[in-house]
């Protein structure tokens, strides 16, 4: 089965995005292992959660540029690590 050039290019882009999201998830291993005792469940959930972010950030990079991916990652980190705990502390 032959692919058209556009379809092959799109497949290559999404293959690269998925592979880079796996690497993105694995790069967060050291942070997660310093905070939690690593079990298979924590490792799998770390890969899934960071992998979803990696897919989003990778797609932003490929289709909109590096700046959008950096801003999205920064916004996600601020939301998860600063605003979220602050709101949780205020509520409790």
Of the listed ranges 1-5, 41-45, 63-67, the least confidently predicted one is 1-5
DSSP letters, the chain, are -PPPHHHHHHHHHHHHHHHHHHHHHHHTHHHHHHHS---HHHHHHHHHHHHHHHHHHHHHHHHH-HHHHHHHHHHHHHIIIIIHHHHHHHH-
pLDDT at 33: 85
Residue-wise pLDDT for 4-38, tens only, equals 566 778 899 999 999 999 999 999 888 888 888 88
* Between 7 and 60, the higher pLDDT residue: 60
pLDDT at 2: 55
pLDDT at 79: 95
First-residue to last-residue Cα distance in the chain: 59
């Amino acid at each position: 089965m032959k692919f058209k050039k556009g379809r092959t290019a799109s497949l290559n882009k999404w293959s690269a995005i998925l592979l880079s999201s796996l690497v993105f998830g694995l790069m967060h291993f050291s942070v997660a292992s310093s905070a939690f005792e690593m079990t298979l469940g924590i490792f799998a959930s770390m890969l899934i959660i960071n992998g979803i972010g990696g897919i989003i950030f990778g797609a932003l990079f490929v289709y909109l540029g590096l700046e959008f991916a950096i801003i999205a990652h920064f916004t996600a980190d601020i939301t998860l690590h600063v605003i979220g705990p602050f709101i949780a502390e205020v509520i409790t």
